[in-house]
Amino acid sequence: MAIDAQVNGKSFSIEADPDTPLLWVIREELGLTGTKFGCGIGACGACSVHIDGEIARSCRIPVGSVAGKTITTIEGIAASDGTLHPVQRAWIDAQVPQCGYCQSGQIMAAVALIAKTGRPSPASVDRAMTNICRCGTYPRIRKAILAATGQAAAAARGDS
């Protein structure tokens, strides 16, 4: 069946079995491979996207459930002129990524957290950021989120 949705500001009519996870439609049908497959059970967060502004793990979202909704992926958070989102900029400044595979999801989670809380406390960063990073970049993720929200002093803690 055809499912209509907005992805990164463009309208799509997607022909897919409604049970297919949104992740595979994004990656294989729309060719947006920045959203990653990590576990398929919603545990790691590599597939994180925004659905109507809310963070969601797309490997567990049937595409049939997003009809009429607005989806944003990692490819859609920079400004239309290509200027990086402040969180992406902070990620570069803090030199966060190592292998980088989880970082699309980490950034999407951070963007959603900041959109919701403005200036998240270190404790709320710990609570909200549950995506897995195997390379062990967590201290720099924490630092980048605090730096991106004008909390440079707190961000200096835990720097390595």
Residues that bind another protein (CB under 8 A): 17, 20-21, 24, 27-29, 31-41, 43-44, 46, 73-75, 78, 84, 88, 91-92, 95-104, 107, 125-127, 129-142, 157-158, 160
* 26 vs 40: CA distance, rounded Å: 14
Query: Taking the complex as a whole, how short is the minimal distance between the CB of residue 68 and another protein, in angstroms?
Result: 22
Closer to another protein at the Cβ: 31 or 68?
Answer: 31
**Nearest distance in Å: CB 52, another protein:** 20
CB of residue 84 vs another protein: minimum separation in angstroms? 7
Which residue, 117 or 130, is less far from another protein as judged by CB?
130
Residue 5 or 128 having the CB closest to another protein: 128
CB of 97 to another protein, least distance (A): 4
